[in-house]
């Protein structure tokens, strides 16, 4: 752990100029009134107002330092550009603004689970998020904020967004046909025969073997379509370039799967080349998320001692 | 390497005075066994330790890895160290169940059917390349593992005690295999990979022409009876409620994961605590601490999960269990 | 850049309605506290206060019911009404300026704020509006505080403070979307901090002094013209005949001091009550002089012929008072504002030399005896301000700078009157001389001190003395008779003794400052604070005050200290035995409950406590235990990270304790091992935090 990361997160007031200026102006006016009227009660009320202002302005700092926010649950899968949801619990009321990845700010009540929507813009594996915690406890006069890193209980795997593939390795018209083409055709090389199953086309029945075995047999043929397509996704490199590539790969795989082609995906995950078939879009997304350079790897180690666990 | 040398290499402290003599003997046996194995299968201390745990816990061990990394050598070393005979079955597609359990033959002299016990009737059974065996034969072996007995000709034949099955298998991605079904996987207490040795160890192995010379020099550290006593000692190791709860929590967490198509069974929890007990004995303790559970969990649970993730079947399971462990809170004393 | 129109639109954009009932109730209570506080100090008339109370409650209820759909026409009507109220306010300010009674802007201001509150109460749908109401309530309380003169204002402030705190707490809750009411514990904590900060400020800050506004306060509640230029004792209908010689037991209880009306008859016996007759806010406390007497006839003080003269000061407020003869050098200004509580003589008081008087009448009458008389009766509620130029100098200066009286001055009528005696006082003269000789007094100052000292040592103070018999000399009777008396007797004795020694002296009467009220920072002058003292002429320094009677509290106390002392005094008066027993029982019960709760929550056994402590220490050193980490793993990690010796062994011992059969009773050295390891961790974590802090500062400096 580097010394920089061990540093406690800094708390700072948000845009303090206006409230602090107002408070100072208020206290100056009060001082003038107390001086001019010469009344001890004005001074007493002013002292109480000063106390209120002090508590209101400095209280959040202490509340923030004592604040512990934990991610109790998180989505396991997400898609780049689409919202993913975390469930958070905080020890006291606060506002959470996701910084990296970005997302919508949300308010948390004390010790009540709340939801935080993230909008990760890149694919990858998120094991932590960087958020800004803000609090104005206990009087709501001034917001203070600090940046924390929250560990996710389970990594959030962000699949790339699906982008329409430009170069589909499909025969012309295959994609359109794929949707309705449940039945097998005669085309292709005969591979063998098998027992008839409900739904097989009568045209597929292989009469010689049926006659031979006494039960209905159908032809099985191997066509171009039955051969798996291998998609190679080399996602090492710059984030933007790999993101586009990953989206394209995702789109390609999606189209291929929609066309009922079996797809083998080759990626480099953790420095190891992985070649494996992908069953569905979800597992393809997960593999692409893990592949290559993780754009979210730079979130750094957790802030110690402050509960951003 | 002699036994004394092997002992000198062990790094754990000697078991402290206090626990009963049975525990001391069991710990010593376990450590000597681990050292013995490590001297043969060099560069795979983890696998050796897990094998020792399997022996002490009386469970069966599944070793999965590519050929040539010493799976068979490990199994042989176990047999040699325990001082018993080793029956070896080589898995191949034509293997019949009777090749494993034995066959009844007609004795002309007595004019009766006589049961000829198969290789499974020995203390240590090495089953090489289990997944090249057709499911029928696998089932025969697994039945014997499950029941501790073999049924043939309407009679039951008890297997010797202790009985240890060491099975090896090739990673399922390789061609020409019959993957084990989940229920069968469950009967292995532990599953481990051996992994490639590092460059230096590999070079040393090449110079020494493999591990065979070491194997022949191995001297037994236990007898079947002393092993049985050690296993009884392991069974008597104390488990407190929080530790048991922790083990169960890990097992249950495996079922809650989205990526896991099938989580670990209740039998897995029993196995987890059995392995943890053995781990405790190896550490010279007569009680289980959460660390024991945590250490053994990947090996105990990894092969029992059916998951949706690329990678080797056992390797990815173990990785998943590591992730699980990073999310299940450890008990606080 | 955003255009103005856009900004206005954004500022007027509808904000989400505030659903918290508690927030609304707290705000209403704070506003009502402000209105009632203003009423209590007389800035609002009771009818308006009642109207405001009802209207605010109704308005708050109305705006709660319509919070989701505020009516636009209501907004319009309210805006128009606010404009009207403001116009009325400006008009009343202008008319006050026209009549010269700009003194008290607080009354119309309080009226304005009450009206604004009433109108605004109908349009508080959202949090922002409620916060505005809270701010206005604060302003109202502050305005009321400017007029508050006694501790009875405290309850309003307390209610306002608590309501504001609760309101702000609710506002914070509503900011985070939390529905629950703010926690009592956090509110109490905030209240405590606020209170401590306020107390600290009051202790540290100087007490506010007299008003320093553009126009000093002066007002009359009723205009009752008086005939002639004489002094009318304001006790009016309460006045009864004073006790005279031969009338046994003749003591009367009236507020007004008979001496003001003249002559000052020392045969009168008067008992003055505790009631507050005036409150004074002054830069410095001092003797508030009413008038002086220069002629003594053996029983009464009278005015000499020259002293009796008066002159009329025409014009209007403020009046410039001409300097009196032999006034001495001009010292520092002392601004004093008098708030009259009881009917008083038509005399204006002030320290030493009044130079300027703010009083709402067309003219004043200035007497040669130093009195400033008003042509109207001084009734309760009258307020006037006197700017004095003090000429008091320290006794040391007087003693050092001793010179004879210049012949020209010695011949002046006032000096001659100040040496007048009705007859020779041989016994008194002899006594005075012997006292002076015994004290080796050379300077006038030393002589006065010596005589004061003798009087202090040989006479007793009592207001309960027998009436003077006819023909008896009051001084003789006091010095050689019963040697008991009060201020009149004591000061007359000093004056006569000084006159026998040819030192000019005269009798002065007025008020001494009473107890100081730290919250209103006013001196509360009670009827019994009417006083008589002696003025002695010092060449070059004029008439100087000497009070032989008693020690009077003159030092202006610091507001905070005085507040603490006052709190202590008031607390001391509480019935402590029952309070103490009840509070003690409560504390015991609370302690027992919390101890029981803590005992239940607190882990049992030293091992579990050691684990807790280890986790705390580790967290402080920046290495908190991860929840998924077992104790042994944590121990090894800490041992490597800190480093801390034997920690792994210690955690192993702790685990044995926790998980072994029978709690690992077989290893007795564990506790010591754990203790030693924890001590090492503690030392290490302390050093680490300190080191880390230093490194941080260094890094920050390097960055900047």
The two beta strands, A69-74 and C300-302, are unpaired
At B119 the pLDDT is 85
CB pair distance less than 8 Å for A283 and B258 = no
Averaged pLDDT for residues C81-89: 87
Same domain, B210 and B244: no
Residue ending a domain, choose from B198, B218, B236: B236
Q: How confident is the model at residue A167 (pLDDT cuts 50, 70, 90)?
A: low
C-alpha torsion sign, points B74, B79, B82, B83: negative
The verdict on B26 and B46 lying in the same domain is: yes
Asked if A107 and C619 come within 8 Å (Cβ–Cβ), the reply is no
A239 neighbors A294 (Cβ within 8 angstroms): no
Tell me the three state secondary structure of residue C87: helix
> Pairing relation of β-strands B124-128 and B86-90?
parallel
Residue A36: its pLDDT value, please?
66
pLDDT tops 70 at residue C499: yes
In this structure, the answer to whether residues B122 and B14 fall within a common structural domain is: yes
Q: How many CB atoms lie within 10 A of CB B140?
A: 21
Instruction: Name the residue among B72, B82, B70 with its Cα closest to residue B34.
Output: B82
Q: Which residue has the higher pLDDT, C472 or C33?
A: C33
Is residue A205 over pLDDT 70?
yes
Reported ipTM: the value is 0.79
| Residue spans per domain, chain C | 15-204, 250-557, 560-602, 603-703
* Per-residue model confidence as pLDDT tens digits over C91-112: 877 776 655 444 456 677 888 8
Q: Supply the pLDDT for residue C442.
A: 83
- DSSP letter for C373, please: E
CA–CA distance, C261 with C241 (Å, rounded to integer)? 13
| pLDDT reported for residue A2 | 38
Task: Find the CATH number of the domain harbouring B202.
Answer: 3.40.50.300
Q: What is the average pLDDT score of chain A?
A: 78
B196, B119: one domain: yes
Phi, psi (5° rounding) for residue C560?
Answer: -65, -45
Neighbours of chain C (3+ CB pairs under 8 A): A, B
Backbone φ and ψ for C333, nearest 5 degrees, come out as -75, 150
Q: Cβ contact (<8 Å) for C176 and A107?
A: yes
Q: Is a pLDDT exceeding 80 seen at residue C601?
A: no
Domain span at residue B47 reads 3-236
Q: Are residues B128 and B170 in contact, defined by beta-carbon separation less than 8 angstroms?
A: no
Statement to judge: residues B108 and B174 lie in one domain: yes
Q: Which of A42, A48, A139 sits opposite C172 (nearest CB)?
A: A139
Q: Which residues of C620-651 are buried (b: 16+ CB within 10 A; e: fewer)?
A: bbbbbbbebbbbbbbbbbbbebbebebbbbbb
Establish, for the pair of chains B and C, how many residue pairs have beta carbons separated by less than 8 Å.
Answer: 62
Whether the per-residue pLDDT at C444 is higher than 90: the answer is no
- Nearest one of C538, C513, C517, C548 to C528, comparing CA atoms: C513
Strands C310-313 vs C252-254: parallel, antiparallel or unpaired? unpaired
Residue B15 to residue C116: CA distance in whole angstroms: 85
pLDDT digit string (tens) for C237-295?
344 444 443 343 334 434 467 777 777 888 777 667 777 888 888 878 888 888 889 89
With an 8 Å Cβ cutoff, are C157 and A140 in contact?
no
The per-residue pLDDT for range A228-265, each reduced to its tens digit, is 788 888 887 778 888 888 888 888 888 888 877 788 88
Structure confidence at residue C32 as a pLDDT band (50, 70, 90) = very high
Alpha-carbon gap, residue C513 to C507, rounded angstroms? 18
Average pLDDT value for residue range C198-209: 73
CATH superfamily of A1-159: Immunoglobulins (2.60.40.10)
Lowest model confidence (mean pLDDT) among B278-287, C25-34, C206-215, C428-437:
C206-215
One domain, residues B144 and B78 = yes
pLDDT of residue C160: 94
Contact B325 C628 (CB under 8 A): yes
Instruction: Name chain A contacts of C179, Cβ cutoff 8 Å.
Output: 109
B224 and B249 belong to one structural domain: no
Give every strand in the sheet of C505-511, ordered side by side: C288-293, C505-511, C530-538, C542-546
Angle at A44 between CA A38 and CA A45, to 5 degrees: 105
Angle at C261 between CA C255 and CA C264, to 5 degrees: 95
Residue ending a domain, choose from B188, B205, B236: B236
pLDDT tens sequence across A283-293: 888 888 888 88
Domains in chain B, number: 2
Q: CA triplet A21, A24, A30: central angle to 5 degrees?
A: 140
| CA-closest candidate to residue C145, choices C119, C170, C113 | C113
**Chain C contact for B13, CB < 8 A?**
no
**A87-101, B212-226, C366-380, range with the lowest pLDDT:** B212-226
Candidates C608, C628, C632; nearest CB to B327 = C628
In sequence order, which residues have a C-beta less than 8 Å from that of residue B288 and are 6 or more positions away?
Answer: B237, B238, B239, B240, B243, B273, B276, B277, B279, B280, C659
The confidence score (pLDDT) of residue A4 equals: 38
What lies within 8 Å, CB to CB, of B21 at 6+ separation is none
CB-based contact B240 C658, cutoff 8 Å:
yes
Measured in degrees and rounded to the nearest 5, phi and psi for residue A174 equal -70, -40
**8 A C-beta contact, residue A118 and residue A105:** no
Give the whole-angstrom CA distance, residue C268 versus residue A45: 46
CA distance B15 to chain C (A): 13
pLDDT digits (tens, 9 = 90+) for C510-534: 888 878 877 777 888 888 788 889 9
Buried/exposed C432-452: b ≥16 CB within 10 Å, e otherwise: beebbeeeebebbbbbbbbbb
Instruction: List chain B pLDDT tens, one digit each, 333 residues.
Output: 444 443 333 344 444 444 467 888 888 888 888 888 888 887 788 888 898 999 999 888 888 877 777 777 888 888 888 877 778 888 888 888 888 888 777 778 887 877 888 888 888 888 888 888 888 888 888 778 877 778 776 777 888 878 888 888 877 555 666 777 767 788 888 888 887 878 887 787 777 766 566 677 778 888 888 888 899 989 889 999 989 999 999 988 888 877 777 778 888 899 999 999 999 999 888 889 999 999 999 889 888 887 765 545 666 788 888 888 888 888 877
pLDDT at C551: 40
DSSP class of residue A172? T
User: Does A127 touch chain B if contact means CB atoms closer than 8 Å?
Assistant: no
Contact B169, B129 (CB under 8 A): yes
Is the pLDDT confidence value at A85 over 80? Answer: yes
Tell me which residue of B307, B292, B308, B312 sits closest to B53, measured CA to CA: B292
Tell me the per-residue pLDDT of C390-401, one tens digit each, with 9 for 90 and over: 888 888 888 888
The alpha carbon of residue C226 and the mean position of all alpha carbons in its chain are separated, in whole angstroms, by 35
State the average pLDDT over residues C454-466. Answer: 79
User: Which residue, A291, A237, A226, A242, is CA-closest to A265?
Assistant: A291
Residue B172: count of CB within 10 angstroms of its CB: 14
Of A76, A155, A276, the CB nearest to B310: A276
Closest residue in C to A48 (Cα–Cα): C198
How far apart (Å, rounded) are the C-alpha atoms in residues B246 and B266?
Answer: 14
Give the start-end residues of each E strand in B91-202: 102-107, 112-117, 124-128, 149-152, 155-158, 164-169, 190-192
A156/chain C closest Cα distance in angstroms? 19
Which of B215, B236, B257 is a domain's end point? B236
At residue C166, the pLDDT reads 92
Query: Quick one: B15 and B36 in the same domain?
Result: yes
Which residue of chain B has the CA closest to A153? B327
Mean pLDDT of C611-625: 83
DSSP letter at B134 equals -
Among the ranges given (A114-128, A181-195, A257-271), the one the predictor scored with the smallest mean pLDDT: A181-195
The upper half-sphere exposure of residue B51, i.e. CA atoms within 13 Å in the direction of its Cβ, equals 36
User: B5: helix, coil or strand?
Assistant: helix
Same domain, B268 and B187: no
CB atoms within 10 A of CB B291: 24
pLDDT averaged over chain C?
79
Q: Using an 8 Å CB-CB cutoff, list chain C residues near A71.
A: none
Of residues A298 and C26, the one with the higher pLDDT is C26
Do residue C655 and residue B328 have CB atoms under 8 angstroms apart?
no
The residue written with tokens 């210049």 in the block is C406
* Chain A residues with beta carbon closer than 8 angstroms to that of B258: 76-77
Interface touch B330/C656, C-beta < 8 Å: no
Partners of residue C64 on adjacent β-strands: none
Residue A81 in tokens: 């550009």
* Residues of chain C neighbouring B285 (CB-CB closer than 8 A): 656, 660
Contacts 24+ apart (CB under 8 A), C51-58: C51/C118, C52/C114, C52/C115, C52/C117, C52/C118, C55/C118, C55/C121, C56/C28, C56/C31, C56/C32, C56/C117, C56/C118, C56/C121, C57/C28, C57/C32, C58/C121
B201 lies in the same domain as B242: no
Given CB atoms, is B9 within the 8 Å cutoff of chain A? no
Q: How far apart are CA C159 and CA C32, in angstroms?
A: 9
Residue A63, φ and ψ in degrees, nearest 5: -60, -40
Q: Quick check: B322 contacting A, CB < 8 Å?
A: no
Residues B108 and B88 placed together within one structural domain of the fold: yes
Longest dimension (CA), chain A: 119
Residue A202 DSSP one-character state: G
CB atoms within 10 A of CB C266: 25
Tell me, yes or no, if A76 comes closer than 8 A to chain B by beta carbon.
Answer: yes
Helix axes B290-301, B241-256, angle to 10 degrees: 30
Which residues touch C572 (CB under 8 Å, ≥6 apart)? none
Q: Where are the domains of chain A?
A: 1-159, 186-222, 226-290
Q: What whole-number distance in Å separates Cα of residue B205 and Cα of residue B43?
A: 10
Supply the DSSP string of C541-594, one letter for each residue. Answer: TEEEEE--S-----SPPPHHHHHHHHHHHHHHHS-HHHHHHHHHHHHHHHHHHH
Q: Is C666 in the B-facing interface, judged by CB distances under 8 Å?
A: yes
Which of these, C424, C427, C494, lies nearest to C458 by C-alpha position?
C494
Report yes or no: A284 and A257 within 8 Å, Cβ to Cβ: yes
């Amino acid at each position: 752990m580097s010394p920089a990361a061990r540093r406690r997160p800094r708390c700072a007031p948000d845009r303090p100029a206006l409230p602090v200026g107002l408070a100072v102006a208020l206290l100056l006016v009060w001082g003038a009134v107390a001086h001019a009227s010469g009344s001890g009660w004005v001074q007493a009320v002013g002292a109480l107002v000063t106390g209120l202002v002090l508590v209101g302005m400095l209280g959040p700092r202490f509340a923030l330092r004592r604040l512990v926010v934990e991610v109790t649950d998180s989505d396991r899968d997400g898609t780049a550009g689409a919202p993913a949801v975390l469930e958070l619990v905080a020890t006291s009321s606060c506002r959470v603004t996701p910084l990296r990845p970005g997302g919508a700010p949300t308010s948390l009540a004390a010790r009540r689970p709340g939801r935080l929507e993230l909008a990760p813009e890149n694919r990858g594996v998120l094991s932590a998020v960087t958020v800004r915690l803000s609090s104005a406890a206990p009087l709501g006069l001034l917001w203070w904020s600090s940046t924390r890193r929250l560990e996710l209980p389970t990594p959030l795997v962000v699949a790339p967004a699906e982008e329409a593939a430009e170069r589909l390795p499909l025969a012309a018209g295959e994609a359109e046909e794929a949707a309705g083409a449940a039945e097998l055709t005669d085309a292709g090389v005969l591979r063998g025969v098998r027992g008839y199953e409900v739904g097989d086309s009568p045209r597929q029945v292989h009469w010689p073997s049926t006659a031979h075995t006494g039960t209905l047999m159908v032809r099985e043929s191997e066509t171009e379509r039955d051969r798996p397509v291998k998609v190679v996704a080399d996602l090492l490199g710059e984030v933007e370039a790999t993101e586009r590539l990953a989206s394209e790969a995702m789109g390609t795989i999606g189209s291929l799967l929609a066309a009922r082609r079996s797809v083998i995906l080759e990626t480099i995950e953790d420095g190891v080349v992985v070649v494996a078939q992908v069953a569905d879009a979800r597992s393809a997304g997960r593999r692409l998320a893990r592949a290559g350079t993780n754009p979210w790897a730079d979130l750094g180690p957790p802030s110690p001692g402050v509960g951003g666990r | 390497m002699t036994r004394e040398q092997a002992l000198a290499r062990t790094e754990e402290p000697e078991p402290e005075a206090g626990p009963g003599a049975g525990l001391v003997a069991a710990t010593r046996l376990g450590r000597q066994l681990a050292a013995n194995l490590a001297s043969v299968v060099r560069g795979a201390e983890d696998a050796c330790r897990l094998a020792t745990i399997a022996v002490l816990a009386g469970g069966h061990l599944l070793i999965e890895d590519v050929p040539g990394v010493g799976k068979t050598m490990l199994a042989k070393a176990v047999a040699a160290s325990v001082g018993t005979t080793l029956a070896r079955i080589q898995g191949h597609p034509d293997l019949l169940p009777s090749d494993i359990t034995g066959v009844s033959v007609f004795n002309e002299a007595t004019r009766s059917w006589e049961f000829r016990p198969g290789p499974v009737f020995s203390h240590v059974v090495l089953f090489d390349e289990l997944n090249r065996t057709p499911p029928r034969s696998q089932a025969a072996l697994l039945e014997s593992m499950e029941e501790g007995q073999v049924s043939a000709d309407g009679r039951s034949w008890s297997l010797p005690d202790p009985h240890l099955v060491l099975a090896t298998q090739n990673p399922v991605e390789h061609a020409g295999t019959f993957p084990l079904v989940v229920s069968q996987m469950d009967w292995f207490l532990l599953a481990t990979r051996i992994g490639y040795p590092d460059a230096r160890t590999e070079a040393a192995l090449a110079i020494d022409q493999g591990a065979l010379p070491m194997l022949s020099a191995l001297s037994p550290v236990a007898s079947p009876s002393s092993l049985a006593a050690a296993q009884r000692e392991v069974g008597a190791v104390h488990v407190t409620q929080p530790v048991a709860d922790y083990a169960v929590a890990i097992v249950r967490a495996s079922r809650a994961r989205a990526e896991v198509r099938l989580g670990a069974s209740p039998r897995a929890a029993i196995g987890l605590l059995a392995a943890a007990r053995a781990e405790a004995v190896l550490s010279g303790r007569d009680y289980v601490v959460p660390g024991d559970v945590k250490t053994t969990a990947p090996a105990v649970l990894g092969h029992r999960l059916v998951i949706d993730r690329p990678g080797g079947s056992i390797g990815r399971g173990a990785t998943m269990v590591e992730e699980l462990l990073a999310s299940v809170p450890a008990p606080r004393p | 850049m955003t255009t103005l129109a856009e900004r206005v639109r954004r500022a007027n954009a509808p904000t989400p309605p505030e659903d918290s009932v508690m927030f609304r109730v707290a705000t209403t209570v704070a506003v009502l506290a402000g209105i009632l506080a203003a009423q209590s100090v007389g800035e609002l008339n009771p009818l308006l206060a009642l109207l405001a109370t009802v209207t605010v409650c109704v308005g708050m209820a109305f705006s709660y019911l319509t919070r989701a759909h505020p009516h636009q026409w209501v907004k319009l009507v309210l805006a128009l009404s606010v404009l009207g109220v403001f116009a009325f306010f400006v008009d009343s300010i202008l008319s006050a300026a026209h009549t010269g009674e700009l003194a008290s802007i607080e009354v119309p201001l309080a009226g304005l704020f009450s009206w604004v509150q009433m109108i605004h109460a109908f349009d508080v749908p959202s949090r922002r509006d409620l916060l505005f109401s809270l701010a206005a309530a604060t302003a109202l309380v502050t305005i009321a505080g400017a007029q508050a003169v006694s501790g009875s204002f405290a309850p309003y402030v307390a209610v306002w403070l608590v309501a504001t705190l609760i309101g702000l707490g609710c506002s914070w809750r509503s900011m985070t979307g939390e529905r629950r009411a703010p926690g009592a514990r956090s509110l109490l904590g905030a209240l405590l901090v606020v209170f401590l900060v306020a107390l600290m400020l009051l202790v540290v800050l100087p007490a506010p002094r007299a008003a320093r506004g553009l126009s000093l306060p002066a007002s009359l509640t009723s205009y009752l013209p008086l005939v002639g230029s004489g002094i009318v004792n304001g006790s009016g209908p309460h006045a009864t005949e004073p006790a005279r010689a031969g009338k046994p037991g003749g003591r009367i209880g009236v507020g007004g001091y008979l001496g003001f009306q003249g002559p000052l008859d020392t045969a009168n016996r008067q008992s003055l009550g505790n009631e507050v007759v005036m409150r004074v806010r002054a830069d410095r406390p001092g003797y508030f002089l009413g008038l002086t007497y220069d002629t003594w006839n053996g029983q009464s003080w009278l005015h000499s012929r020259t002293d009796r003269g008066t002159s009329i000061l025409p014009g209007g407020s403020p009046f410039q008072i001409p300097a009196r003869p032999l006034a001495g050098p001009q010292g520092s200004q002392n601004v004093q504002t008098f708030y009259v509580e009881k009917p008083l003589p038509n005399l204006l008081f002030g320290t030493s030399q009044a130079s300027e008087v703010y009083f709402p009448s067309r003219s004043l009458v200035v007497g040669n005896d130093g009195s400033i008389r008003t042509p109207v009766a001084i009734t309760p509620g009258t307020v006037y301000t006197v700017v004095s130029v003090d000429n008091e100098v320290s006794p040391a200066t007087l003693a050092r700078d001793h010179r004879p009286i210049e012949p020209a001055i010695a011949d002046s009528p006032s000096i001659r009157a100040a040496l007048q005696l009705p007859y020779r006082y041989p016994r008194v003269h002899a006594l005075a001389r012997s006292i002076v000789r015994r004290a080796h007094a050379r300077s006038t100052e030393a002589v006065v001190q010596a005589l004061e000292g003798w009087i202090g040592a040989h006479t007793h103070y009592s207001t309960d003395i027998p009436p003077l018999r006819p023909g008896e000399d009051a001084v003789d009777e006091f010095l050689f008779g019963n040697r008991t008396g009060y201020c009149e007797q004591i000061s007359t004795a000093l004056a006569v003794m000084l006159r026998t020694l040819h030192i000019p002296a005269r009798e002065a009467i007025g008020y001494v400052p009473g107890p100081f009220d730290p919250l209103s920072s006013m001196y509360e002058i009670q009827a019994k604070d009417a006083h008589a003292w002696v003025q002695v002429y010092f060449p070059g320094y004029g008439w100087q005050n000497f009070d032989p009677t008693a020690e009077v509290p003159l030092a202006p106390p610091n507001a905070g200290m005085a507040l603490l002392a006052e709190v202590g005094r008031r607390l001391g008066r509480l019935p402590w035995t029952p309070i103490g027993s009840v509070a003690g029982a409560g504390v015991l019960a609370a302690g027992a409950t919390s101890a029981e709760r803590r005992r239940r929550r607190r882990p049992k056994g030293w091992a579990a406590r050691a684990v807790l402590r280890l986790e705390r220490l580790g967290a402080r050193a920046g290495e908190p235990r991860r929840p998924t980490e077992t104790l042994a793993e944590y121990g090894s990690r800490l041992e490597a990270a800190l480093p801390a010796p034997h920690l792994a062994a210690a955690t192993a011992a702790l685990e044995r304790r926790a998980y072994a059969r029978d709690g690992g009773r077989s290893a007795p050295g564990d506790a010591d091992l754990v203790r030693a390891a924890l001590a090492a961790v503690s030392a290490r974590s302390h050093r680490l935090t300190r080191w880390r802090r230093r490194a941080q500062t260094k890094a920050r400096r390097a960055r900047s």
